Structure 1
């Protein structure tokens, strides 16, 4: 009596899992390569265009290199800066002010003032100087 074997070795190989792995690796390398290239870019900030008319905001916040704050050329402690700005811009239809920060002032000082503008929905401009070509 001859018995037939029912278990045969299947020579097929499923590529479905392999394509999933390759797809995930592709996504990983695309994300990491873009993150690396962003950190290596030399950023040049835009310069002011002298042909555009400028509008002088009624209020300015000046930040000196040593971290001192001035509102309309009057020195204000950091703790009182928010109250002073809110009082200065109270009643304006479109409240706005300009930040004049020293080139060597700390970034966190500028971000602090920008946070005040964001909290109270004030419009904000950052003063620059035009470089000679």
Structure 2
């Protein structure tokens, strides 16, 4: 009697998914860490450009001046008469508080200077006019 060997069932070739998943997660982490998550405030202004612009990292009081010359503290429109009191209130007893004026590039220079003058009179130790880096 002849006995024939039965052919063994072959397993299909499988690609190792573990290393592929590792690479996908590494790419995801890389893109999450390198993406810029800066969120701009609500007032739409176009800042003047400067070649020597440096990023602002310090906590500050920010005053916006739009293209029509209106002043905003946060997202609240405020008259120049009330601006002094509000800045004085925000500064409190801090001597070296930084106030950043973000004025639209189309605004008349006199309006931005008035806002800076009011901030200085309210007790701002340092003033800064915000710009964006020229490409």
TM-score tier, shorter chain, comes to 0.5 to 0.7
Question: Is residue 80–residue 115 contact of structure 2 (8 Å, CA) maintained in 1?
Answer: no
TM-score in terms of structure 1 length: 0.56
Question: Is residue 68–residue 75 contact of structure 1 (8 Å, CA) maintained in 2?
Answer: yes
The answer for the alignment partner of 2:131 in structure 1 is 128
Asked if residue 47 in structure 1 is aligned to residue 51 in structure 2, the reply is yes
**With CA pairs under 8 Å and 6+ residues apart, which has the higher RCO, 1 or 2?**
2
The answer for the alignment partner of 2:7 in structure 1 is none
Structure 1 or 2: more helix by fraction: 1
Question: Is residue 48–residue 129 contact of structure 1 (8 Å, CA) maintained in 2?
Answer: no
Aligned structure 1 segments of 4 or more residues deviating by more than 6 angstroms: none
Instruction: In structure 1, list runs of 5 or more residues that go unmatched.
Output: 1-44
Question: Is residue 57–residue 98 contact of structure 1 (8 Å, CA) maintained in 2?
Answer: no
* Matches of 2:85 and 2:132, distance apart in 1: 29
Q: Pairwise CA RMSD of aligned residues?
A: 2.0
